[in-house]
Structure 1
Amino acid sequence: MKISLISIIGALSVFVLFSFISNPEKTEKKEINWLSITEAYKMNQKAPRKIFVDVYTNWCGWCKKMDKDTFSDPEVVDIVNEKFYAVKLNAENTEPITMAGDTTTAQMIARSMGVTGYPTIVYIKEDFKTIQPVPGYQNAKKFKDTLEKILEWE
Structure 2
Amino acid sequence: MKKILLLLLVAFAAPNLQAQESELDWHTDISEAVSLSSKTQKPMMLFFTGSDWCGWCKKLEREVFFTPEFTKWAKDNVILVELDFPRSKPQSVELKQQNAQLNAFFKVRGYPTIWFVNGNENGEGKIAFEALGSTGYVAGGPEKWLAGANSIINKDKSTGSK
- Say whether the fold is shared (TM-score over 0.5): yes
Greater CA drift, 59-68 or 26-35: 26-35
| TM-score (normalizing by structure 2) | 0.65
Tell me, what secondary structure is at the counterpart of 2:110?
Answer: coil
1:120 lines up with 2:110 in the alignment: no
Tell me, what secondary structure is at the counterpart of 1:121?
Answer: strand
Tell me, what secondary structure is at the counterpart of 1:107?
Answer: helix
Aligned-partner Cα distance in 1 for 2:54–2:16: 29
Query: 1:27-106 counterparts in 2 under 5 A?
Result: 29-30=19-20, 31-36=23-28, 37-57=30-50, 58-91=52-85, 95-97=93-95, 104-106=97-99
RMSD of equivalent CA atoms: 2.6
Q: Is the 8 A contact 2:60 2:137 kept in 1?
A: no
Q: Which residue of 2 aligns with 1:150?
A: 152
Q: Which residue of 2 aligns with 1:132?
A: 133
Q: Is the 8 A contact 2:34 2:119 kept in 1?
A: no
Higher strand share: 1
Q: What amino acid is aligned across from residue 89 of structure 1 in structure 2?
A: L
Q: Deviations over 1:86-106 (max 9, x none)?
A: 111114667225xxxxxx520
Number of equivalences: 124
Equivalent of 1:110 in 103, 124, 127: 103
Q: What amino acid is aligned across from residue 115 of structure 1 in structure 2?
A: V
Q: Which runs of 5+ in 1 are unaligned?
A: 1-19, 21-25, 98-103
The alpha-carbon deviation at position 151 of structure 1 amounts to 2.8
| TM-score (normalizing by structure 1) | 0.68
